[in-house]
Structure 1
């Protein structure tokens, strides 16, 4: 069993605390009630922790304490904590797989964690590879059994298993294997979305077992948390909320790419952009109806709907069997509304050009219908400093908080959506203000290193208390 010590500090109203935790050793020393002036506290901390002046550190690189930043990352002794992930993963086109790849890359930079990702073969054969510093085991075949999970756990001997989950993301056998693993090793499950009807939930009993056996459930939004506590009667004490992350260095203002305009023959047109997988529930029908209302008043603008369907939707997603034809239905709707020439569809956008595409847009529109889980495209748009029109839902409101970094409209309200888009197209000052606030929010709260540190902290808490 790996050994890990974590060392952290906290200051609040002139009082400090140090906690030294040893996994499996159950050694916990606490020093509390350190009074005195800020100067005395500074001197005391200086004798314990390496430090740098705050302006030399990124905003999310540590805790701000009395004008200085103190590194509070893990101090590793001996072997790192071994964590086995079970998830979809690139090259499969899947939002959860993309999320997993980004977070795994950030976690791989923590020397206190040894991460292995167990995922599906997806045409690459059953083999282990290294992807951006992450060990990837492709030992889940087209018909996985729970024995695949058990065998991987026996071979890797993880300290903790982490499942990326949504209603129909995994076959029942994978869920059963994870639930079985929960009998002998702590399980953390990230619930990207949860069933919201009894009929649906009872159709997947293996998912109920996963929820029951998990020591900790991670969610991105209060909407999913409320579903778990209210509908599924899960104790809120074992639910923690961590926002979706974004690569703030890659998705940054000023990354416009003329090659993107040339690729899609956009010329000098003003771009109103939707970006993401094309799926029912994204509000695209509402967006097309809104665009009909404002297209004539904005003759120099084009609505660009950028994205395709998830990989092999009919094969991998039980509840998406009709989605392969969804883009064609949207094109038909655009033609029937008489705006076919003012709307352009790109199909799937290669990852390499996504930052340039987002930064080239004048307005980004994400008109989701009642979204409960957070949106990677939303965070990327904020990080690129682009003004966003979205809908009033937990997925977006949790991220924005009290700050004004986007315009929100009622889901399904084409008139309100049209007015918000038109307002941004006609107000340069408002566009710039929203863009600056969105970028600031992303840098301060949504960077992957910050998300990774929070995740690692929860790993240690889970193993310590299991």
Structure 2
């Protein structure tokens, strides 16, 4: 039995539900798992708001507007006075204020509480401000976490972060028990269809138009093929330009005569629906346009559930789909995507083999496994900081 006095008090800084953001879901998933560990008090959250306000639950101890620079200093001082043993900073350039999110440095430089930073984006060609932010966070943190081996190398070689301060931990995947693929297809109305899918917030960088064009060739030899695009438009995109991208895609479907082969599910998916969308799929596809993308939660989920994945060769996909776990297609190339789809649909034995290889990695990425690595990192960081301060030094 762990004494209450020895339990760790951990806080997370970043976006949090109900704000619609992938990092918010990531934080909630990790908190849910940490709560099951006997040597942790229920973690708390410092939520970063945009210009909207949110009805947060009791786990949120503080919240502030990302664009109010003075708030970053206030939050740091309040954390220093609190009983928090360690802060976990979720880092993405766009969720903090200032040039490339530079206001976050005001907070980090004033903390006496130790912190770990999780980098959700690691650029191989940063601009000077982006370089400065990542390098400084890495310098000040106890540990810097990234989710791919290639970006671990970049944090050291490009940003100068010491190798012994960098940890690679896979993106976590929620574990849910589900019905079989065929049973779920029937439940969702897709029985007797070969399902290709993509899920996540819809935005122009997702390259969905190229996947739609690929279906024109696929349907000729596989008239049962169906491409399902799951998810609502990204809140920021919708606020700025409305549903222009979705409408463009829908017009393309009609223009190509694919109304029976492409379906849009325009809603914010529950976690259960996300898992169902993957399990009922024969192929999961990420035709993204950004070569630099260092991590993709949606691709991680696809691997977690052992789907055959076809993707463009952005950084995360190139690493995660190695060793026979998927197929890479060219950027902005419907023909290349279509060739990959047909290769899988035409060779069911190849599909089964690829699913097994993907699932072998996917089993290690479930949140109940990933959280053990984070918990160990937190314990070691708190202990190291305590030992350091007890010998008369203060950060």
Structure 2 length-normalised TM: 0.82
2:234 is aligned to 310
Cα distance in 1, alignment partners of residues 358 and 3 from structure 2: 35
Unaligned runs of 5+ in 1: 1-73, 130-134, 316-320
Unpaired stretches in structure 2, ≥5 consecutive residues: 386-395
Aligned-pair CA distance for 1:303: 1.4
Do structure 1's residue 123 and structure 2's residue 49 form an aligned pair? no
Task: For residues 266-293 of structure 1, give each alpha carbon's deviation from its aligned partner in whole angstroms, at most 9, with x where no partner exists.
Answer: 4643321111222333332331232222
Residue 251 and residue 394 in structure 1: after superposition, are their counterparts in 2 closer, same or farther (change >3 A)?
A: farther
**How far, CA to CA, are the matches of 1:157 and 1:313 in structure 2?**
39
> 2 CA distance for matches of 1:251 and 1:411?
33
Structure 1 residue 116 displacement after superposition: 1.0
Structure 1 residue 185: Cα displacement: 1.8
In the alignment, what sits opposite 1:382? Answer: 303
Distance 2:24 2:187 in 1: 25
Distance 1:90 1:77, change over 3 A: closer
Determine if the alignment matches structure 1 residue 179 to structure 2 residue 124.
no
Native 8 Å contact 1:308 1:347 kept in 2? yes
Q: Is the 8 A contact 1:385 1:439 kept in 2?
A: yes
Give, in angstroms, the shift of residue 371 of structure 1. 5.0
Distance 1:251 1:165 in 2: 32
How do 1:44-443 residues align onto structure 2 when only pairs under 5 Å count? 78-114=5-41, 115-120=43-48, 123-125=53-55, 129=58, 135-141=59-65, 143-144=67-68, 145-154=71-80, 156-172=82-98, 175-182=104-111, 184-195=112-123, 197-199=125-127, 201-202=128-129, 209-250=136-177, 254=181, 256-257=183-184, 261-262=188-189, 266=190, 268-313=192-237, 321=240, 325-351=244-270, 352-369=272-289, 370=291, 372-400=293-321, 402=323, 404-443=324-363
Which residue number in structure 2 is paired with residue 448 of structure 1? 367
| The structure with more helix, counted as a fraction of residues | 2
Cα drift, residue 416 of structure 1:
2.5
After superposition, the Cα gap between the structure-2 partners of 1:413 and 1:225, relative to the gap in structure 1 and judged at 3 Å, is farther
Structure 2 Cα separation of the partners of residues 353 and 400 of structure 1: 24
SS of the residue 1:233 aligns to: coil
Summarize the Cα distance change of 1:411–1:251 in structure 2 as closer, same or farther, 3 Å threshold.
Answer: farther
> Is the Cα–Cα contact under 8 Å of residues 304 and 366 in structure 2 kept in the other structure?
no
CA RMSD after TM alignment:
3.1
What SS is found at the alignment partner of 1:168?
helix
Give a deviation string over 1:355-409, Cα, whole Å, max 9, x none.
Answer: 222222222112233253232222322333332222334313443553x232233
Q: Select the structure of larger CA radius of gyration.
A: 1
TM-score normalised per structure 1:
0.71
Q: Residues of 2 paired with 1:246 and 1:255: CA distance?
A: 22
Q: Could you say which residue in structure 2 is the equivalent of 1:461?
A: 380
- Measure the CA separation in 2 of the matches of 1:100 and 1:225: 21
Write the deviation string for residues 220-254 of structure 1: whole angstroms up to 9, x where unpaired: 11343344334433333322110001123346855
Displacement of 1:87 after TM fit? Answer: 1.3
Say how many residue pairs are matched: 375
Query: Conserved in 2, the CA contact under 8 Å of 1:167 and 1:194?
Result: no
Deviation readout 1:27-83 (Å, 9 max, x if unpaired): xxxxxxxxxxxxxxxxxxxxxxxxxxxxxxxxxxxxxxxxxxxxxxx9667331211
Quote the Cα distance in structure 1 between the aligned partners of 2:282 and 2:93.
35
Structure 2 Cα separation of the partners of residues 423 and 165 of structure 1: 38
User: Equivalent residue of 2:25, what SS?
Assistant: helix
User: Distance between the aligned counterparts of 2:233 and 2:320, measured in 1?
Assistant: 25
